A and B are shown apart, each in its own frame.
Chain A
Amino acid sequence: MSNHARSEEIENYTPRTRTRLRLKEGETAADNVLSVMTMVVHPMTPGIERDAEDNPVIKDGKVSILAHKTHHLIGWECKVNGEVVLSADLSGSVSKDPIINFSVRGVEGGDTFTLSWTDNQGFSDTEEQVVKSRKKK
């Protein structure tokens, strides 16, 4: 751990979260499938300390991380009507601006979809959307 102040990139970071939802509707609500595309605008900097040969520095069997540089998501979670459907623990080796795409069964128009995340520098964000039905009534 170092005593450096947090890097400028971290200090100037503004959380941004995007989700794109598309409901494919079946005969009944149980047959519905919600396709979810998510992206968090985030640098995902692992902050790994490297030696003169650019190899990662290992201390006590662990990769040495520079506290003032590391900045990546650690927790990520999606809910439908408050119930967790998919969650994740992430590291700095997930690509910059993490994209995670998946599908949820049994979602109806009017349900609330929520994506929340938190990172290792104390930033977090929540994006909430109401699922839209495309069926004509």
Chain B
Amino acid sequence: MSKLFSRRRIVQGLMAAAALVAMPLSAFARNSEAFGLGDFAKAQSTMFGGEDIADGSDGITLELPDIAESPAKTNVKVKVDESKLGMLKSITFMAEANPTPISAKFYFSARVEPELETFIKLAGTTMVHAIVETDKGLYSASKEVKATLGGCGG
């Protein structure tokens, strides 16, 4: 005689579910302060502790459309030449004209190829920056994207 939903089973199930919920992800929301700022310069200096950001345009390939057909879904691809800039640690995407300029920050381990593709929203014509952190310092590459309609609704 076996009960499928015995009290013990239910308790075990609940405990397993609680363990899953409690499982921490490494370091979520590491820069929540910078993410909430509306001013581009302030958001950038808060994110990078006011450190200098060098021109990295010869070591960073930043692919964005000249004109964003659908600004709410703008394709961005970035590739870092590690032989020029050093070992990649992180890439941060920023759009100057967005209400909150920081879109996302990606943290790379040594096993990941130094390139990434994603999609971001643009609130109109704006400079888009990829800020690259390597073991040698901070570098940026930028491109202006023209957009007639904003894509940051909601």
Contacts and interface: CB of A to CB of B under 8 A. Distances in A.
Are A and B subunits of one complex?
A: yes
B48 interface: no
Contacts of A86: 106-109, 112, 116
B43 to A, nearest CB: 10
B104 A94 contact: yes
B35 to A, nearest CB: 5
A109 interface: no
Given A85-B112, A100-B118, A93 B103 contact: yes
Interface in A52-105: 56, 58, 61-63, 65, 69, 74-75, 77, 80, 83-96, 98-105
A88 B120 contact: no
Contact of B38 (A61, A74, A84): A61
Contacts of A65: 36
Contacts, number: 136
B103 A85 contact: no
B1 interface: no
B66 interface: no
A87 B106 CA distance: 6
Contact of B28 (A62, A75, A91): A75
Contact of A33 (B103, B113, B154): B113
A49 B107 CA distance: 30
A99 B112 CA distance: 17
A114 B119 CA distance: 21
